[in-house]
Every structure is written in C-alpha cells, then in structure tokens.
Amino acid sequence: MDEMDIELKRDFLGESQQLLQDAEQCFLQIESEPDNPDVINTLFRLAHNLKGSANAVGFMDLGSFTHKLESLLLKIKDKKASVTGKVVTLLLACKDQIQLSLDKLKIDLSASVDYSQLSSELDAALTGQDVSTTTEAVVAAVTVDVAEEIAAEVETQESEPEQTEPEQTIVAEAFVAQPQTENKAFTPEVDENIRVSLARLDKLINYVGEIVILQTVLAEQAFLGNLHMVQRTSQQLGKVTRELQDISMSLRMVPMKQTFLKMQRIVRDTSYTLNKKVQLHVKGEETELEKTVLELIGDPLVHLIRNAVDHGIDSTEEREAAGKPEVGKVFLQAYHRADNIVIEVKDDGKGIDAQKLRKKAIEKGIMREQQVISDKAALNLIFHPGFSTKDEVTDVSGRGVGLDVVKTNIERLQGSIDVMTELGKGTTFKIQLPLTLAIIEATTIKLAGQRYAIPMSHIHESVQIDKNNLHYSVNSGEIYYLRNENLPTFRLTALLGLKSMPEQKDDILLVIRVDEMPFGVIVNDISAVQQIVIKKLGRELAYLDGYTGSAILGDGRPALILNLPQIVQKHSVRRNVLSTTNQRLSA
C-alpha cells in the first residue's frame, strides 16, 4: 500500500465521522417523522456518499454492507417498507457497526470486519420479512466482538516502548502521535483532531505578531536606558500576553452540541428497552467547554440520562394515574455561571422519596435507626457506593453501581454534583464544572518548607480566626462557630500529616463548601490570588489522593495543588472509623 492510498484511507476515516453523526440524527428523527421526505432523502444521500467513498478508497466490505443499508432506505423512500421501532433499531445497529468498523480501521487499515450478522437482518428486511426480535442481541454481540478486538490492538500498541512525553504548554497539542513503526500501512498514527475557526487562528497570529514587535521595542528601549518606555512596553506586553493566553485556551474549547446529540440516542434506546415514551429536550448546546473536560464528562452524563429514563420517569400506567401526559420529558441544558459551566439533567417523573432512602440506608447498615438526618443528607445517600432503592436488577438499572462513580469522576474534574427533587414532580441533577483544567486561579501557602496551591473555586470565603469561637469536642474534633453555624474544622498540617505549627494570632480559616455542606481549614497565612498553569503529576506520584497536580509559581518555584474537599473527606472517614472503634472498645 503506497503513501497516497494510506492518506486517502485516512481522509475517508476522518470525513466519515460527520456522515455517521448526521445519519444517526436522521434515524432518530425518522422514527417520529416517518413521512418526512426531507429526512428520508437526506438519509439516502448520506448512505450513498458513504458507500461510494468506501468503495473508492478500497474498503469493499464496508461498501457492500452500506449498499444493503442504502437499498433498505430506498424501499422506505419508495413506500415499500414501513418505519417501525424494530426497523429503526436495525438502522441504528448498522450505524453502530459501521462506527466500530471505522474505529478498528483507524488502528489497522488492513483490518477485516465481519458484517454477516447484521447483513442477514438487512436481507430479511429487504425481502419483506419481519425484522428479527433478536436484532438488539445481534448488535450487542457484534459490538462486544469488535470492541474486544480494538482493545487488543490498542493494548498491543501501548505495550511498546513509551516515548518521552513533551512538556505541557498553554496551547495543547492537537493530536497525539503513536510510536513510529516500520510498516506505516498496518499501524498508522492515530490523530486526535479538533476543529478551530479561522477567526480564532487569525487572532492568534495577530497577537503573536504584536508580541514580536513589543519584544523588539522592549530590547531597544532597554539598550537606550529609557526606563519609562521599558515599563510602559512591559505593561503592554503583559496585556497582549494575557490576550494570547485567552485565545490559546479558546482553541481547545468545543461546543457541547455533539455530546447533547448523543444523548438523544441514549434516551431513545433506553426508553425503547423499557417500553416507555420519553422525549429529550435540550438547551444550551452551543455552550463551549474544554475538549478534555467534555470527553471526561460524557460517561457521567450518559449514566444520569439513563438514570432519569429508568428510575425517574414513571411507567405509562403510573403517569396516567397521576394525571400526567403519557410521554415523559427529560431536560438537558448547559449554561455559563462565572468561570464555571453548569449542566442540568432534569426529569418530570416521580421524584425521590427521602424517607425511602433513609429506610434503605438502615437496611444496608449505612446509618443507624435512631440516627436523624435531613432530607438533603438523605438525598446524598444515592451517591454512596452500591446504594440503590431498586430491588429489581435489569440491564439498564444495573446493580447500584453508578452514581457514586459519577460523583467521583466529576470531583476529579474539580467539579461538584447536587441533586434536588420534589415528590410527584421530578428530579434535577446539577453538575458544576470549571471551563478549563489547564489554568486556574489559586492562592498559595507555605508549610514545612513546601509550597501548596489551593484553587479559589474551592474557597467560599476566608476569615480571621477568633479564638473565642474555636472549640474542641472529643467526638467531633475542632468546631468553629461562624455566623450561627458550627463548622467542622481541620488544621491543614494535620490533614497533610505534617508537624503541627504553633498557633498564631493571625491564623486564617478557609471556609470550603461541598454539596452545600461547609467545613473550615486552618492555615497560617495565604498569599495573593494568582493564575497558575496546572501540570500533571508524574506516574510516580499519580497514585496520591488529594493532589490535583503541580504548578510553577510566579517566582519560578514549584507548588503542589491541593484538592481540599477530597483530603478532608478521607480524613473525616478515618476519624469516624477511629471514633466508632473507640466507642466499641469502651462499651
């Protein structure tokens, strides 16, 4: 295979992604609008283009499979086949098979894919036979087979000698190149691409040009000893550098539209499986988020959407009895709030019964029967590992593993998740995330000769400590009384396992709020707020909990970035275990 063939195949694999995304949206639309000629014509054109391009670059098996799909769409177009739920499921299964095939071909351009299982389903539909009720099982088997092969290919590549990782910069690389191999035809590099508007690139080039000019001016004025002009030019250079930083970061920002579109498919498939009628309403799909954050939030969103359809939306009979419309509604919206993005998943279902949660928690031994907790605290029990109020286990609801993982994954992104509910009216999950993981505002402190940075997004407020408001309890530890509120309080030296420092009259209390539950952290002093660029910890330190990463401060010195909510949570668990153990021993 020569270099031109390789490039043509790569171009096809890249361009086909948009065709498949458009096809999936049309498949979903045709189910609710089976007589819409525009949708059917668009589908036929997409399938025809995909077939022709696949054959042109030599992917003949894919071209033959797509030809059968095109033939079925032609029958639908000519009113010789009806659009039923089973037919739409088959069409979506074909799209999934093609997607998996493309993913495999990206790793190995000479890979062969078995289309026989779904081809037989297409043959049945083309000859007028009823589409098999086992279509879902067939595509599930195909998905597992192909996914396992892809995983094996990736594992083989990852086992090769690791290349030295380049230092991160503000403008991240647009692709990750795989290790070079001798045979390019069989192991092409896998590029990760991102679309950037020309307007943003033009701005970037303009700012780079301004910096070059200002550097020249600065050098000349410094040579002439003109301190006034040096200071003025330096200020201009700082302003342009900040602008360059902003536009550089914006290059990694992508709209949430594609992620939101994928949720349409999740709602359709889940509701079809559960025999429920559910519509997804989206808002704010043009809201932009850093590509890395968007990719990592995908799985938590999928789980929340499935959870809304499965657990949230009532059955048809329950909705009729409650006087609700037959079709349930799930709302997905995103919007900006300050330097964060908020994503809400809301349903108009039955809501969550806090009393039922308490009862289940007592049954599972999570809380004692005589223990009194608020409705808000009871709602947060759903994020406890393995907690579920559903006795029946299905492929959709699973076995109670999920929401705890959702919460953990969101917190790893320096975000938070909150739940609100109203019985009989529905439930809302609210996710709050930083717009970017690369640059944050932080304050720094110094302990035992080491500098630490604390993200400002974690700090609700800071107050000078009044020792008259600081008390100690054997069971609860230190408590600080702040504006009619008792805050569980921790000393940062104790949290980090460092040697305790003598109390000072100017000690500061940092008030941290997680899930609307506040606590305080005592530090000796804090510095001015500054922007820092987050660097990943090396593999040797990646296992450490409580550290987001590291940063180089303005004076050139390194600092570890603390995740105070995570550190306090782990410290509290240890303290509660010790307290419970001591109570049992004394009893």
Residue 60 to residue 64: CA distance in whole angstroms: 6
Average pLDDT, the chain: 80
Contacts of 331 (CB under 8 A, 6+ apart): 280, 281, 282, 283, 344, 345, 346, 347
Q: Does 477 or 315 have the greater pLDDT score?
A: 315
Residue 549 to residue 450: CA distance in whole angstroms: 14
- 258: pLDDT confidence band, cut at 50, 70 and 90? confident
We find that the CATH architecture of domain 254-391+402-434 is: 2-Layer Sandwich (3.30)
Contacts of 536 (CB under 8 A, 6+ apart): 168, 542, 549, 550
Contact criterion met (CB below 8 Å) for 357 and 367: no
Q: In 3D, which of 458, 407, 449, 439 has the Cα closest to residue 533?
A: 439
**CATH class of the domain comprising 3-127:** mainly alpha
DSSP string, 185-248: TTS----------HHHHHHHHHHHHHHHHHHHHHHHHHHHT-HHHHHHHHHHHHHHHHHHHHHH
Residue 547 to residue 564: CA distance in whole angstroms: 8
* H or E, element range at 453: strand 450-455
The answer to whether residue 194 scores a pLDDT higher than 90 is: no
- 570: pLDDT confidence band, cut at 50, 70 and 90? confident
CA-CA-CA-CA torsion sign (230, 233, 239, 241): negative
The answer to whether residue 524 scores a pLDDT higher than 90 is: no
Q: Does 172 or 280 have the greater pLDDT score?
A: 280
Which residues, listed in sequence order, are joined to residue 552 by a DSSP beta bridge?
558
Q: Per mean pLDDT, which range of 127-136, 226-235, 361-370 is the poorest?
A: 127-136
The answer to whether residue 311 scores a pLDDT higher than 80 is: yes
Cα distances from 485 to residues 232, 467, 507, in angstroms, run: 49, 15, 19
Per DSSP bridges, beta strands 485-491 and 517-523 are: parallel
Instruction: Give the pLDDT of residue 306.
Output: 92
Question: If one looks up domain 439-584 in CATH, what number appears?
Answer: 2.40.50.180
Instruction: Give the pLDDT of residue 141.
Output: 52
Per DSSP bridges, beta strands 439-447 and 530-533 are: antiparallel
In the chain, what are the domain boundaries? 3-127, 198-251, 254-391+402-434, 439-584
Instruction: Give the pLDDT of residue 500.
Output: 73
Residue 366 to residue 42: CA distance in whole angstroms: 54
Residue 581 to residue 440: CA distance in whole angstroms: 40
Tens digit of each residue's pLDDT (9 = 90 or more) over 322-349: 999 999 999 999 998 877 889 999 999 9
Tens digit of each residue's pLDDT (9 = 90 or more) over 438-454: 778 888 988 877 889 99
Backbone phi and psi for residue 109, each to the nearest 5 degrees, phi listed first: -65, -20
Entry pTM: 0.67
Contact criterion met (CB below 8 Å) for 318 and 350: yes
- 419: pLDDT confidence band, cut at 50, 70 and 90? very high
The answer to whether residue 567 scores a pLDDT higher than 70 is: yes
Where in 297-448 does DSSP place strands (E)? 328-337, 340-347, 416-422, 426-434, 439-447
Q: What is the DSSP letter of 178?
A: P
Tens digit of each residue's pLDDT (9 = 90 or more) over 34-46: 888 899 899 999 9
